[in-house]
Amino acid sequence: MSELLQQLILDELSTNGLISDSRSLILPGSSAPAASNDAQIAVLGALNSLDSRAMIHYETHEEFSHVLTPEGSQIARHGSHEARVWAALPAPGQGSPVTPAELQKAVGDEAAKVGQGRAFKNGWIAKDGKGLVKAKSEIDDVTQAQLREIESSGTLVEGEAVLSDLRKRKLAVQKKLQWFTVRKGPSFSTSIAKLETDLTVEMLTSGSWKTANFKSYNFDAEGLPTDGGALHPLMKVREEVVSIFLEMGFAEMPTSSFVDSGFWCFDVLFVPQQHPARDLQDTFYLSDPKISKPPPAEYYKRVATVHEHGAYGSMGYRAPWSDEESRKLLLRTHMTGISARMLYKLAARVKGAEAGFRPTKMFSIDRVFRNETLDATHLAEFHQVEGVVADRGLTLADLIGFMRVFFRKMGIENLRFKPAYNPYTEPSLEVFAFHPLLNKWVEIGNSGMFRPELVKPTGVPDDVHVLGWGISLERPTMIKYGINNIRTLVGHKVPIDNVEKTAAVRF
Ligand code: PHE
């Protein structure tokens, strides 16, 4: 088809020197002129191909025309609802008036309902006792006539006001049509030379490449979209955050176990066993298996003691210790349990083969789970980003300094800190950043200096202090991609198309 069409255009130009309106072409395999939009799209394809070889030039014109909707075509054929109502009624005194039920039967529900009102308004029909009769012996069904005119010419002599009314009544719709004027180009010829697209071994050996006509590169052509896999937007932001931590010399903690015990998620962090965060309303507990394996015995004892009786200068909670609470299996509610476990491992190394404490910077980014009420910005699971530094003599100034560097690398310069409370840090700071789009300060993270009740039982040397901060991964991602409902970011309602098309992120 496309080659035949190209040939047709060239022949037409050769005979007439010009195609003033491409809608007059009679396309191969058809008997009528190519007036439809589809036909003109085919013509455009052929024109582009000829234009790329400079065989022709063309100009594009745009025209708006009207076509009928299915209801419009129906009326063009059988008359407007009001005319059909009128036609179904007897002239006064010439037969018995038609009741509403009879009218419905005669012209159908829709026409009876819509048509009656309009027919009354036009003064075409009148009431006679319980029924309806004609009030005029002749009517002029203007709507039908207008629609017939549109059907044959694509427009109305009466003009835009009437057209707009018909569009509102959903009887006609506007359509844009492109058409073209075509002239000969500098390389015009009636025969389409096949252009070579490859330089082959045969051409080189025979020497035919010297005279061959090569197709020129089209640098404007868009490549085919690849349909390989794509990183989820959250994972793109994750990559970016990982690279920030790596630049700052942090190493990633192993985070693959979603299930942890009350001991590692709460107890080692000095979260009291009666803390509301440990309630069923906040934490998901496992029903099978219910109970974890015993934690390292000596560490367990130190942690239980600091809770129940106090130690390391702390008076503890002075509440009875529950082994059962400590051994409960749960879906981890934050990543700080992993940080504590790493500190414990670090301290164990002090006595091992690689003896000696070494300052450490660690980070984790992974899923945590909370038994939350779900809404547009909360799900029962999200990703937590956590940075932890352990070194001798660290202070609050170091915490603030690390966070300033970290957030600056994410493009956030304007920070404020507010005193807060966490069972495992003292002092604790909430981190606020100024959000230029929302024009207000928004909370972006939580942080603090780990308490002695957490740090000392792990067994790291006495002068080692630990600082840490956490943010969610979803929040910066939603801001970055302008997403305001978390369900379009996570879960089964995420449009796959979006996942494939979202750009890589650079902070
Ligand atoms: N775990 C804290 C939270 O869930 C974040 C945090 C990490 C706070 C480290 C202090 C220190 O919000």
Residues 81 and 117: their CA atoms lie apart, in Å, by 10
What is the number of helices (H) and of strands (E) in the chain? 18, 14
pLDDT at residue 484, as a whole number: 81
* Burial (0-12, 13-18, 19+ Cβ within 10 Å), 499: middle
Q: Where are the domains of the chain?
A: 2-68+171-210, 82-140, 235-501
Range name among 95-109, 190-204, 214-228 with the lowest pLDDT average: 214-228
Name which residue sits closest to atom 5 of ligand 1, judged by CA. Answer: 470
pLDDT at 38: 83
- Please state the rounded mean pLDDT for residues 271-294: 93
Residue 336 in contact with ligand 1 by CB distance below 6 A: yes
The residue contributing the CA closest to ligand 1 atom 10 is 447
pLDDT for position 48: 93
What is the mean pLDDT of the segment spanning 117-125? 92
Ligand 1, from 275, 283, 336: best to mutate by most atoms within 8 Å of Cβ?
336
CA of 475 to the centre of ligand 1 (A): 15
**Which tens digit of pLDDT belongs to each residue from 307-356?**
999 999 999 999 999 999 999 999 999 999 999 999 999 887 766 555 67
In angstroms, what CA-CA distances link 59 with 2, 77, 83, 130? 19, 38, 46, 65
In this structure, which topology does domain 2-68+171-210 adopt according to CATH? Ribosomal Protein S8; Chain: A, domain 1 (3.30.1370)
Pocket test for ligand 1, best of 264, 334, 473 (most atoms within 8 A of CB): 334
Could you tell me which CATH number the domain at 82-140 has? 1.10.10.10
* Average pLDDT along the chain: 91
Percentage of the residues of the chain whose pLDDT score is greater than 90? 63
For 100, phi then psi, to 5°, come to -55, -40
235-501: CATH topology: BirA Bifunctional Protein; domain 2 (3.30.930)
Q: Which of 183-197, 264-278, 295-309, 379-393 is the least confident region? A: 183-197
CA dist 333 and 312 (Å) reads: 27
Distance CA 161, CA 167 (A): 10
* Cα–Cα distance, 360 to 342 (Å, whole number): 10
Mean pLDDT of 43-57: 92
Ligand 1 atom with the shortest distance to the CA of 447: 10
Percent of the chain at pLDDT exceeding 70: 99
pLDDT of residue 353: 57
pLDDT (tens digit per residue) in 353-398: 556 788 999 999 999 999 988 888 788 999 999 999 999 999 999 9
CB-ligand 1 contact for 446 (6 Å cutoff): yes
Report whether pLDDT(1) > 60.
no
pLDDT of residue 5: 92
- Interval 140-152 mean pLDDT: 92
Kindly give the distance from the C-alpha atom of residue 321 to the centroid of ligand 1, in angstroms, as a whole number. 24
What's residue 356's pLDDT? 73
To test the ligand 1 pocket, which listed residue (270, 331, 422, 472) has its Cβ within 8 A of the most ligand atoms? 422
pLDDT value at position 413?
Answer: 87
Q: Are 224 and 336 in contact (CB under 8 A)?
A: no
Distance 277 CA to ligand 1 centre (A): 13
Q: Is the CB of 470 under 6 A from ligand 1?
A: yes
Between CA 178 and CA 22 the distance in angstroms is 9
CA of 73 to the centre of ligand 1 (A): 67
